Structure 1
Amino acid sequence: YPVILGGAALTRAYVEQDLHEIYEGEVRYARDAFEGLRLMDALMGVKRGVPGAELPPLKQRRVAKRDTPMQVAEPEVGGRSDTAVDNPVPTPPFWGTRVVKGIPLKDYASWLDANALFKGQWGLKDAETIATDGRPRLRGWLDRLHTDGLLEAAVVYGYFPCVSKGDDLIILDDNGSERTRFTFPRQRRGRRLCLADFFRPEESGETDVVGLQVVTVGSKIGEATAKLFES
C-alpha cells in the first residue's frame, strides 16, 4: 500500500530516502494537505492507467548519509536548572476557569500569519503572485467565513495554584491537594532547562500560579472542509 507522511517532525529526505529504502511500497512526503491531495490524485491516476499519470521524483539527499552513527555524549548529571526561584508570584485576576463564546472573527483575524499561509500552505513564492492571487483569495475566504458563520471561536481559560517537583508541574486544588500533574522534558545538557523549573518548587513552601487555556473554532468549519475534500 502507498504511504504518505508529513508533519513537522519529518523531512522530505528522511521519508523519501531512508524510509523508502526499508518499505516495499511507495512512500512519499507531503508538506501539507494540498500536496497530499496532489499525491493521491497521482497515485490513483497511476493505478487506473491514466495516460501521463506519474508520481513526482523522489527527493535526493544533498548531504551524504553517515556510514557510522554519530557518537552522542552522555547527558550531564544534575538536578534543577539555575532558573531563579525568587521572582514575585503574580496574583491572578481570578481562580478557576471561565468560558468565552462567540468571539468575532475580526477580533483574531489580524493574528493570522499571512506569510506562512501564502508561502508555506498555498505555495505562493513571489510578491506579485501573493498580491494578485493570495491576498484577494484570503479576503474572499475571510468574507465567506464571516458570512456563512463557519467559525464558532471559543476559549476556556483559567488560573490554578501549582508547585513544581523535579520535571513535574503539579496542579493543586482549593485544599492544596494534587489535582493532576504534567511531566515535561528536560534539556540533556547546557542549562538543563525544564518548564517545571519556572514555577516555585514544592520544597519552598510557597504556592505558584499557572494559566491554562483550551481554544476551539467549533465543528462547522470541519464539516465545511470535509465537503471541500469530497467535491
Structure 2
Amino acid sequence: RIVLATVKGDVHDIGKNLVDIILSNNGYEVINLGIKQPVSAILEAAEEKDADVIGMSGLLVKSTVIMKENLQEMNSRGIAGRFPVLLGGAALTRAYVEQDMAEIFSGEVRYARDAFEGLRLMDAFMDVKRGVAGAQLPPLRARRVKTGATLERTPVEALPSRSDVAAGNPVPVAPFLGERVVKGIPLADYAAFLDERATFMGQWGLKAARGGDGPSYEELVETEGRPRLRMWLERMQTENLLQAAVVYGYFPCVSDGDDLIILDEKTGNERTRFSFPRQRRDRHLCLADFFRGSDSGEVDVVAFQVATMGSRISEATAELFAKDAYRDYLELHGLSVQLTEALAE
C-alpha cells in the first residue's frame, strides 16, 4: 500500500497518475491524495491507511525543496524509518535524491525515473519488508564526476551584487502598462502552433518498436497520431471543453542585487519582488542583472503572461482517469498541455 501525492504548491499530476495506474494494475493499493498536498496531509494519510511506502511527486524546481523539507519533517517526527520514500518528477535528478537527500534522511529514499522504475522499487521495498530471502534495495548511486574535474564555487559572501551584463542598452517601450485579459480565444487562432512531435512522441508515446519490427514513427503518425488528433480536436469543440484565455501585461521594474522589484504603474511604489539565485561560478549571472538597477536613475519594463485551457478540460481528464479510460486520459491530458504551450507561443 502506497500513499501517493503531488507536493505542496505543485499542480502537476500526470506522472503521479501514471505511477498510480502502473502500481494499481500490478496488485498494489494506491491512496492517491492528488495535488498540492502539505506534508501533514501526506503523513496523516500514511498513518491512517497504514501505508508501506510514501511516494511524492512534483514538476517544479521549488518542489525539490519542498520534498527535502518533507523528509526533514519525517526525521523530526521520528517516522523516517517506518516509511520508505519514493521521489519522482522532472526537476529531480538521481544524484540529488540518492546522494543529497539520502544524506539528510534517516530512512530509505530512492529516485524513480519513471513509473516502471517506481514499480521495481515498490517490489523491492515490499520484498525487504516481507523478509524475502536475498531481497535488498537497489544501492544508492554515487554522483558521477569526471576524473580530475574540480568544481570551484565562489563563497556566498564573495559574490558580486551584479554581473557584467550590459547596462547601457536602451530600455524598451511597453505598448501599455498594467494587465489585460483575453477570453474566448478560438482554437483556430493557436492550433497551428501545436507541436505535433511533442504531442505524439512526448505526450502520447508514439515510438517505433526497437529492432525495426513494426511500423515506423512516421507510419504511426499517419495511422494513429493524426486521426486521433483530429478526433480529439473535434471532440474538444463539440463538447465545449476549451476555455482558452490569457492574462498578460507590462510592468515597470528595477533590480536591486538579486531581486527584481515590480513597481505599481500608477504610484511607482513597490508592488512585489522576485528573488533569483545567482551563479556561484562562471560569470555569476542572475536574472535580476538583465534589468536596470535601482541606482541607475531609469525604470525598466518586464512582461508577464499566463495562458490556460480552462477548468473544463481538467474536469474531463479527471473523469476519464476515474473511469480507468487510461488511453483517452493520457491523450486528452497530453493534448491539452501542448495546446496550452501553443497558446502561450
Shorter-chain TM range is 0.7 to 0.9
The equivalent position to 1:73 in structure 2, one of 152, 156, 161, is 152
CA distance in 2, matches of 1:96, 1:138: 37
* Alignment partner, residue 191 of structure 1: 283
Answer yes or no: is the 8 Å Cα contact 2:161–2:258 preserved in 1: no
Aligned length: 207
State the Cα RMSD in Å: 3.4
After TM superposition, give the deviation of residue 92 of structure 1 in Å. 1.1
* Alignment partner, residue 144 of structure 1: 235
Gaps of 5+ in 2: 1-51, 56-85, 127-136, 209-216, 324-345
Q: Work out which structure has the larger RCO, using CA pairs closer than 8 Å and 6 or more positions apart in sequence.
A: 1
Write out aligned runs for 1:155-174 (5 A).
Answer: 155-173=246-264, 174=266
- C-alpha change, 1:23 and 1:149, in structure 2 (3 Å) is farther
Answer yes or no: is the 8 Å Cα contact 2:95–2:142 preserved in 1: no
Structure ranking higher in helix proportion? 2
Per-residue CA distance 1:76-104 (angstroms, 9 max, x = gap): 73231111111111111111111100011
After TM superposition, give the deviation of residue 185 of structure 1 in Å. 1.4
Gaps of 5+ in 1: 47-57
TM-score by length of 2: 0.52
* Alignment partner, residue 4 of structure 2: none
Answer yes or no: is the 8 Å Cα contact 2:257–2:288 preserved in 1: yes
Question: Which one-letter code corresponds to 2:227 in the other structure?
Answer: P
Question: Which one-letter code corresponds to 1:176 in the other structure?
Answer: G
CA distance in 2, matches of 1:194, 1:67: 27
- C-alpha change, 1:175 and 1:11, in structure 2 (3 Å) is closer
* Alignment partner, residue 51 of structure 1: none
After TM superposition, give the deviation of residue 66 of structure 1 in Å. 5.0
After TM superposition, give the deviation of residue 129 of structure 1 in Å. 1.8
The equivalent position to 1:96 in structure 2, one of 175, 178, 181, is 178
Question: Which one-letter code corresponds to 1:189 in the other structure?
Answer: R
Percent identity between the two aligned chains: 59
Does residue 207 of structure 1 match 2:290? no
The equivalent position to 1:123 in structure 2, one of 199, 205, 209, is 205
Answer yes or no: is the 8 Å Cα contact 1:163–1:207 preserved in 2: yes
Answer yes or no: is the 8 Å Cα contact 2:252–2:302 preserved in 1: yes
CA distance in 1, matches of 2:142, 2:98: 13
* Alignment partner, residue 318 of structure 2: 226
Answer yes or no: is the 8 Å Cα contact 2:251–2:262 preserved in 1: yes
Does residue 180 of structure 1 match 2:272? yes
Per-residue CA distance 1:25-78 (angstroms, 9 max, x = gap): 9x67364xxx58x96xx99xx9xxxxxxxxxxx9999xx73599x964232732
Per-residue CA distance 1:124-155 (angstroms, 9 max, x = gap): 11322222112211221111112211010111
Answer yes or no: is the 8 Å Cα contact 1:98–1:156 preserved in 2: yes
SS for the counterpart of 1:202 is coil
CA distance in 1, matches of 2:180, 2:170: 25
CA distance in 1, matches of 2:166, 2:152: 27
- C-alpha change, 1:112 and 1:175, in structure 2 (3 Å) is same
Answer yes or no: is the 8 Å Cα contact 2:242–2:312 preserved in 1: yes
Answer yes or no: is the 8 Å Cα contact 1:164–1:199 preserved in 2: yes
Does residue 109 of structure 1 match 2:191? yes
